[in-house]
């Protein structure tokens, strides 16, 4: 199945001499082969332009392209750790290792497969958005290796209302992470642009162009060479916390992309956890908050660090 997509970007000054399709590929991760003249349209100032046109600083570019979607979701009886559930929303504690929705290389074992089993075909059909059945109810994501609290919409009305809250940044998302080093000062914020790393398409990086990312952090507990941090994100960029912590020189312990193995915790998996979600109920309008306790991997690491601090 083919789905029509749209994406809007602003050209950064480092890309003044780049071809338009090269810029879009580097920033968004869309492949150059996808952006053929027939399937992808580039619009600047209301006019359709060629993909070979030079990207100019400050230009606002609208990209219209087609994406292949999955036609079938396989229902799977995957247990979910439910924090809260009503007719409109489901709030879960996502385990580390679970992929949120099907994608290339991950067709099964995802949260969406679990939702298909839990709510059935009627749910899938009712949540189908313009032919897209691959992400029913999904209004935000957590990376595969990030655990913690996550909300799912259970009908179109709640989906629209929650999507609007995330787009308008009225949802407060708080994460806990175990980072390397000593923070000086123990709190701060970052406002940068984040885009694809030109040297590694799996990674993102702080750049002069890309999409604005706003992160606020506070040290909850400082240890000799590690720190437990509370991090709030006011935007929802891919890998945002991981990129910003690495940019500060305090990469997250166990991060396979942005950190090297830690001497004290060489076998650690990523120590990033969605701790709290504060939002408005999409139907009742009530302000609600959900929390997820720190998982066992955090408890074990903090026990080691607490012991060292007391010694």
Query: Mind listing the pLDDT tens digit for each residue in 72-120?
Result: 688 999 999 999 999 999 999 999 999 998 765 667 899 999 999 999 8
pLDDT at 135 over 90: no
Which of 15, 21, 93, 143 is catalytic? The answer is 143
pLDDT of residue 32: 56
* Whether CATH 3.20.20.10 fits 2-68: no
- CATH (residue range 172-277): 3.30.2350.10
Which residues of the chain does CATH 3.10.290.10 include? 2-68
Higher pLDDT, 271 or 64: 271
Which residues of the chain does CATH 3.30.2350.10 include? 82-167, 172-277
Q: Binning pLDDT at 50, 70 and 90, where does residue 131 land?
A: very low
Active site residue 86: no
Closest CA to 195 of 56, 14, 6: 14
pTM of the model: 0.77
- CATH (residue range 82-167): 3.30.2350.10
Mean pLDDT of 37-55: 74
């Amino acid at each position: 199945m083919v789905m029509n997509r749209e994406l809007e970007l602003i050209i950064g000054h480092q890309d003044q001499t780049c071809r338009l399709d090269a810029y879009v590929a580097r920033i968004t991760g869309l492949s150059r082969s996808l952006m053929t003249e027939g399937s992808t349209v580039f619009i600047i100032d209301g006019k359709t332009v060629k993909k070979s046109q030079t990207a100019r600083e400050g230009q606002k570019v609208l990209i219209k392209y087609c994406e292949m979607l999955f036609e079938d979701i396989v229902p799977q009886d995957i247990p979910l750790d439910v924090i809260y559930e009503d007719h409109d929303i489901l709030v879960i504690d996502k385990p580390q290792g679970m992929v949120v929705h099907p994608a290339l290389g991950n067709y099964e074992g995802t949260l969406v497969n679990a939702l298909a089993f839990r709510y059935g075909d009627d749910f899938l059909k009712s949540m189908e958005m313009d032919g897209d059945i691959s992400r029913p109810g999904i209004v935000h994501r957590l990376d595969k290796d990030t655990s913690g609290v996550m909300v799912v919409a259970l009908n179109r009305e709640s989906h629209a209302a929650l999507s609007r809250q995330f787009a308008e940044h009225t949802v407060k998302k708080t994460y806990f992470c175990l980072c390397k080093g000593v923070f000086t000062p123990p709190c701060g914020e970052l406002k940068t642009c984040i885009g694809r790393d030109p040297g590694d398409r799996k990674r993102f990086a702080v750049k002069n162009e890309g999409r604005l990312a706003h992160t606020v952090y506070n040290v909850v507990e400082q240890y000799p060479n590690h720190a437990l941090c509370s991090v709030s994100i006011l935007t929802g960029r891919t890998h945002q916390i991981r990129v910003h912590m690495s940019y500060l020189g305090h990469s997250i312990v166990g991060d396979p992309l942005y950190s090297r193995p830690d001497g004290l915790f060489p076998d650690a998996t990523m120590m990033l956890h969605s701790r709290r979600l504060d939002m408005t109920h999409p139907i009742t309008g009530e302000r609600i908050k959900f929390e997820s306790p720190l998982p066992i991997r955090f408890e074990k690491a903090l026990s080691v660090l607490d012991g060292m601090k007391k010694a």
